[in-house]
Structure 1
Amino acid sequence: MIVELGHYALVLALALSLVLTVIPAWGAHTRDAALMGVARPAAFAMLFFTAASFVALAAAYVGSDFSVLNVFQNSHSAKPLAYKISGVWSNHEGSMLLWVLILAIFAGLVAWRGAAMPRRLLSYVLSVQGAIAAAFFLFILLTSNPFARVMPAPFEGEGLNPLLQDPGLAIHPPLLYLGYVGFSVAFSFAVGALLEGRIDAVWARFVRPWTLLAWAFLTLGIAMGSYWAYYELGWGGWWFWDPVENASLMPWLAGTALVHSIVVMEKRDALKVWTILLSILAFSLSLIGTFLVRSGVLTSVHSFASDPARGVFILCILVFFIGGGLTLFAWRAPVLRQGGLFAPVSREGALVLNNLFLAAACAAVFIGTLYPLALEAVTGAKISVGPPFFEATFLPLIVPLLLLVPVGQTLAWKRGDLLGVLQRLSAAFGLAFVGTIIVFATTRGGPVAAPLGVGLGFWLILGSLSEITSRSHRRGASVLTVLRRAAGLPRAAWGSAIAHAGVGVTVIGIAATAWGVERIATLKPGEQIALGPYQVTLEGVVPRNGPDYREVAALMVVRDGDRVIGRVEPGKRTFIARTTATSEAGLLTVGLGQIYASVAEVGAADGSAGVRLYWKPWVLLIWLGSVAMAAGGVLSLSDRRARVAAPARRAVPAAVPAE
């Protein structure tokens, strides 16, 4: 009964999304207040029924209702409760229901926070949100129904894909979808502004929090996905330029440019057309990422769909929203009033340059990801575009951008003093240079670019710190006064500095991978192998049983000289339901580095194990920096100026005629 109610709730959510699409938009077009008043209740109702549908599917998973085909194919009665819950979105149908639930949540939040917005703009924004939701509700109901029954009901399910039976499944997809779908709000605001024919600093004030929120979630989602692949797949790497990874990187790059562009528009009422275009492109790239993963054109652990009808349906959604958004932009953008002027050497000019670098980098990733697919579709030829292409095209664009970030964030608005900025940054540059020399002197091996990369990271961190100190310090001021002034700076200033410093932390972690050590060996119990500054000894191979799997683990002890610093226990797991084996990496964190171990073969007659060992210095900085970036975005979001509505413009009083 709960399953049928969930299906019925999904149909009602579709009906409400159609109401939300049509009635408020017509009301905004005709300036009918009663019709525009339908927008907020319809958004709340759509959220309620979408949530009810999702809860019904979750209840079927928790209760192991194998009469539901989706549950039968992706669950098992012996599966731990946590994985039963996260298993709801471990498959194509459930993940699309989560996608549309998050969309409904954002629509509901916009309706809740939209009381202070101009009514016409709010009506257009919620109408576009309703149209996006309607398209995906139709997709789910017509091609990907999560409530389809199987008769007779099987006694037991097939179980979850072993690679997905991990805490990462509970964290990574929701965070990623919050980022993907969050950009739909910026898209809706852009379409609303184009339909209304008005875009100004008030518009930027309303859209900025949603963009920051989506960007922060997407940053965390990408970082979590990277760390999950790092420890789960047993490859020992953190990024592989896989098309699915690139599918999330592209909207992140466009979203980063959008965040900076909105700042210029809010501060200086400039870059209006560019901001609208980026709002459309960020969500368009999110839709393209959804298409790549859900259409079946890619063979990946992420790709759940293999039905061509699904791919065609999603492609139609892409054509309608991306094509429609860009067509509307081409038609209406010329009527938008241009904003304020600024000198090339200014913070606005630096942000424009920042956006150009990011857009070019995004284009490079886009071409490298989609060109092989397009070529195969047109000619049937198959080519592979791998890391060499992206390193040759992406890095030359990103490195100059990172070098310019501290300079850009220190320049004044409207007209900057480049020489004065360089003087203020001289201490940061000097310290970064000294740090680079020290790294050169104290490291051995690895490419020459590695210490330079660490120095670039130092430059970003110290440059961000310099921005805070330059705004807080005054000649002759006491330390207490400086600290008080720093604490009194807007949260947005602190958020920007922390986010930029987080980029520097990540850059240092990436550069440090060059000094990693890899060893491959077959060890017998008691044998020892050197791994960088440490020694790893195999103690033995033991069998273990989990809730729904059997495991053979290699027990290893790690020593630093004569001192034991920890243990790693990589293994091979065989899951009972699917009779498939997975490799489980063993990790030991030492400071900011990690010892990483995986096994190729275990359980030989002599007790030996084939192992692959890595020493990865500073590797945790890659993900800690990403967390700092997202934290900076959230801190900026908490700034009161980003949470309150922009004040209404005062009416200009009419001139009083002379008597």
Structure 2
Amino acid sequence: MIVETGHYALVLALALALVNSVAPICGSVSGDRRLMAIAPSVALMGFAFTAYAFFALTYAHVTSDFSLANVVENSHSAKPMIYKISGVWGNHEGSMLLWVLVLSLFAAAVALFSGSMPEDLRANVLGVQSWIAAAFLLFILLTSNPFARLAEAPMEGADLNPLLQDPGLAIHPPLLYLGYVGLSITYSFAAAALISGRIDSVFARFVRPWTLVAWICLTLGIAMGSYWAYYTLGWGGFWFWDPVENASLMPWLAATALLHCTLVMEKRDALKIWTIFLAILAFSLSLLGTFLVRSGVLTSVHAFASDPRRGIFILAILVVFIGGSLVLFALRAGGLKQGGLFAPISREGALVLNNLLLTTCCATVFVGTLYPLALEALTGEKISVGAPFFNLTFGPLFVPLFLLMPIGQCLAWKRGDLAGAAQRVFVAIAAGLAAMLALAAWRGGPVASVVLSGIAVYVIIGSFADVWRRLFGGGASFAAAGQRALGLPRQAFGAAFAHAGIGVTLLGLAATGWGAEKIIAMKPGETVSVGGYDVTLDRVTPRAGPNYSEMVAATTIRSGGNVVARIEPATRFYPARRMSRSEAGISTIGFGQVYMSIGEMTGNGAVNTRIFWKPLVALIWIGALLMAFGGGLSLSDRSFRIGVARRAGKARAGSPQLAE
């Protein structure tokens, strides 16, 4: 009965989305406050019904209700409870339901935290968000119903894909969806601003926290997915430039550009057209990624669906929302008033250059991902665009971006002093050069690793140059600096930590050039030296799991004769799916890692092993955590709460910024 009510809840959510997609916008156009006032309550009700539907599907998975096709195809009674729950979104139908749940969650959040927002803007935002929700609810109900019943229920299910039976499934997809589905709200703000004609600094102030929330979640989601691939696939890589990995990277690049652009629009009332365009672009790239994963046009470990009907439906959604928003953008953009002017050498100028580099990177990923698909569709020719292309094109674009970040933070608004900004980051420049020289003398190795490591040190130290100047400027004592720190906006600290996190990640990436790898067949008792560590295979023993059997290689790691760690890489076999997967053994030593995976046993009792030493590799994900921490610190700044209400009150008294 719960399953049927869950299905009915989706139908009711669709009905509410249709109502909310029309009534509030009509109220905004006609000036009817009663129609505009229904938007928040309907958005909350829509979220409640969608959440109930998601609960109903989760209940079916937890109780192993094999009368439901979705449960039969993706679950098993012996599966651990954590994978029964996370398996809800480990398939096409369930993941799309999670997609809509996140969509309605952001609408409900706007409804709850929009008391200071102008009524017409709020009504239009929730109305546009309801358009998106209605489209995807129709998609679920017509092509991807997660509540479809079977005429005869089997005794047992087919189990979940073994690659997805991992704690990463419980963390990575929800975070990723909160990120790139969360960008729907920035799209809704942009469309609402175009409809209502409210494109000004108040719009930028309202949209920036939502962009920041989505960016934080997307950063963590991509990082978690990278680490999941690293330890689960067994090949020791953390990024493969897979088309679906690129589908999440493109919105991240666009969202990063948008985040910086809204700051310029808020501070200087400039870059209005570009800000609106980026808000549309970021979510459009999310829709494109959804199309790639759900349409069957590519093959990937991430891809769920291969039904062309679903792809055509999503393609239609993509055309309607991207095309419709761009038409509205074209009609309205010409009427925008000119914003604040600024010199090329200024913080605004640095942020514009930042935007150009980020969007060029985004375009590079876009072309590299879609060109092979387009070529195959048009000519039938198959080509592969892999890591060499992306690495060669990304390097020349990202190096200037890294060099610009600390200097741009030290430039003044409107008109800056480039020489003065360079002086403020002199210590960072000196530290970066010293790091290059020290690493070249000590480690040698790839030139790229030495240079990128020096740039990373420069970025990390330089990220705090502006904060240091504001705290200790004028020869202030530590006591005085402490008093200044209390009055310094948390956004300043947040930006410093986020930029430093990028430098930390870059340092981890650069250090991969000094790694070591050995592929060898090892017998129990045999020792191999990798990266200064002795790795001994002690024994290989079978072990039974809840829904799998595994061969475990107990391994000891020594340094200088002393035991520093013990790991247990394994290969697991899942009988229900008749599939195997590897489980890497990883030991973190300092910021480096000894990584070992095993394969098949050979005829003479040896086991095929792959052993890596990866210096500083943990910094890749520590840097992502620092970025997210910096974003959270900025989000906690009181200006997001007090400034919005104050500026919204001024906006109500003034006239719209879009010329009629």
TM-score, normalising length from structure 2?
Answer: 0.97
Tell me which amino acid in the other structure corresponds to 1:202.
V
> Are the equivalent residues in 2 in contact too, given 1:540–1:607 (CA < 8 A)?
no
The aligned counterpart of 1:634 is 632
1:527-561: CA deviations, max 9, x gaps?
11110110111111100011110001111111102
How far does residue 465 in structure 1 lie from its aligned partner after superposition? 1.7
The aligned counterpart of 2:607 is 609
> Are the equivalent residues in 2 in contact too, given 1:206–1:646 (CA < 8 A)?
no
Number of residue pairs matched?
Answer: 651
The aligned counterpart of 2:41 is 41
The aligned counterpart of 1:489 is 488
Tell me which amino acid in the other structure corresponds to 1:142.
L
> Are the equivalent residues in 1 in contact too, given 2:343–2:414 (CA < 8 A)?
yes
Counterpart mapping for 1:101-140 below 5 A: 101-140=101-140
How far does residue 152 in structure 1 lie from its aligned partner after superposition? 0.8
Q: Secondary structure at the match of 2:536?
A: strand
The aligned counterpart of 2:391 is 391
1:457-480: CA deviations, max 9, x gaps?
111111112111111113342222
> Are the equivalent residues in 1 in contact too, given 2:121–2:198 (CA < 8 A)?
no
Name the CA distance, whole Å, in 2 between partners of 1:300 and 1:364. Answer: 20
> Are the equivalent residues in 2 in contact too, given 1:36–1:119 (CA < 8 A)?
yes
The aligned counterpart of 1:656 is none
Name the CA distance, whole Å, in 1 between partners of 2:496 and 2:368. Answer: 32
Specify whether residues 29 and 557 from structure 1 end up closer, same or farther in structure 2 by C-alpha distance, changes over 3 A only: same
The aligned counterpart of 1:97 is 97
The aligned counterpart of 2:67 is 67
How far does residue 62 in structure 1 lie from its aligned partner after superposition? 0.5
Name the CA distance, whole Å, in 2 between partners of 1:613 and 1:543. Answer: 21
Name the CA distance, whole Å, in 1 between partners of 2:297 and 2:26. Answer: 38
1:75-124: CA deviations, max 9, x gaps?
00000111100000000000000000000000000011112111111111
1:581-614: CA deviations, max 9, x gaps?
1111110111101011011213x46432110000
The aligned counterpart of 2:657 is none
Q: Secondary structure at the match of 1:520?
A: strand
Tell me which amino acid in the other structure corresponds to 2:635.
L
Tell me which amino acid in the other structure corresponds to 1:200.
D
Name the CA distance, whole Å, in 2 between partners of 1:181 and 1:21. Answer: 18
The aligned counterpart of 1:267 is 267
Counterpart mapping for 1:365-384 below 5 A: 365-384=365-384
Identity %: 62
How far does residue 563 in structure 1 lie from its aligned partner after superposition? 0.2
Is 1:595 aligned to 2:594, yes or no? yes
Name the CA distance, whole Å, in 2 between partners of 1:474 and 1:174. Answer: 43
> Are the equivalent residues in 1 in contact too, given 2:24–2:36 (CA < 8 A)?
yes
Q: Secondary structure at the match of 1:292?
A: helix
Q: Secondary structure at the match of 1:614?
A: strand
The aligned counterpart of 2:650 is 649
> Are the equivalent residues in 2 in contact too, given 1:198–1:336 (CA < 8 A)?
no
The aligned counterpart of 1:567 is 566
The aligned counterpart of 1:657 is none
Tell me which amino acid in the other structure corresponds to 2:487.
G
Q: Secondary structure at the match of 2:21?
A: helix
The aligned counterpart of 2:472 is 473
> Are the equivalent residues in 1 in contact too, given 2:516–2:614 (CA < 8 A)?
yes
Q: Secondary structure at the match of 2:270?
A: coil
1:221-261: CA deviations, max 9, x gaps?
00000000011001111111111111011000000000000
Counterpart mapping for 1:503-518 below 5 A: 503-518=502-517
Name the CA distance, whole Å, in 2 between partners of 1:105 and 1:498. Answer: 28
Specify whether residues 353 and 76 from structure 1 end up closer, same or farther in structure 2 by C-alpha distance, changes over 3 A only: same
Q: Return 68-77 or 457-466, whichever deviates more.
A: 457-466
Q: Secondary structure at the match of 2:542?
A: strand
> Are the equivalent residues in 2 in contact too, given 1:350–1:408 (CA < 8 A)?
yes
Q: Secondary structure at the match of 1:357?
A: helix
The aligned counterpart of 1:296 is 296
1:603-655: CA deviations, max 9, x gaps?
x46432110000000000000001111111111111011133242228999xx
Q: Secondary structure at the match of 1:335?
A: coil
How far does residue 274 in structure 1 lie from its aligned partner after superposition? 0.4
Q: Secondary structure at the match of 1:154?
A: coil
Q: Secondary structure at the match of 1:114?
A: coil
How far does residue 374 in structure 1 lie from its aligned partner after superposition? 0.9
Q: Which runs of 5+ in 1 are unaligned?
A: 654-659
> Are the equivalent residues in 1 in contact too, given 2:118–2:652 (CA < 8 A)?
no
Name the CA distance, whole Å, in 1 between partners of 2:541 and 2:383. Answer: 43
Name the CA distance, whole Å, in 1 between partners of 2:429 and 2:570. Answer: 46
Q: Which runs of 5+ in 2 are unaligned?
A: 655-660
Name the CA distance, whole Å, in 2 between partners of 1:584 and 1:211. Answer: 36
The aligned counterpart of 2:150 is 150
The aligned counterpart of 2:535 is 536
The aligned counterpart of 1:348 is 348
Tell me which amino acid in the other structure corresponds to 2:461.
L
Name the CA distance, whole Å, in 2 between partners of 1:111 and 1:157. Answer: 40
Q: Which runs of 4+ in 1 moved over 4 A?
A: 650-653
The aligned counterpart of 1:625 is 623
Q: Return 328-337 or 489-498, whichever deviates more.
A: 328-337
Name the CA distance, whole Å, in 2 between partners of 1:651 and 1:546. Answer: 63
Q: Secondary structure at the match of 1:588?
A: strand
Q: Secondary structure at the match of 1:317?
A: helix
TM-score, normalising length from structure 1?
Answer: 0.97
1:462-501: CA deviations, max 9, x gaps?
1112111111113342222123323431110000000000
Q: Return 571-580 or 229-238, whichever deviates more.
A: 571-580
C-alpha RMSD over aligned residues: 1.2
Name the CA distance, whole Å, in 1 between partners of 2:457 and 2:475. Answer: 28
Tell me which amino acid in the other structure corresponds to 1:515.
W
Q: Secondary structure at the match of 1:38?
A: helix
Q: Return 458-467 or 141-150, whichever deviates more.
A: 458-467
The aligned counterpart of 2:658 is none
> Are the equivalent residues in 2 in contact too, given 1:637–1:643 (CA < 8 A)?
no
Q: Secondary structure at the match of 1:37?
A: helix
The aligned counterpart of 1:5 is 5
How far does residue 507 in structure 1 lie from its aligned partner after superposition? 0.4
How far does residue 436 in structure 1 lie from its aligned partner after superposition? 1.7
Tell me which amino acid in the other structure corresponds to 1:607.
G
Name the CA distance, whole Å, in 2 between partners of 1:486 and 1:434. Answer: 30
> Are the equivalent residues in 1 in contact too, given 2:121–2:192 (CA < 8 A)?
yes
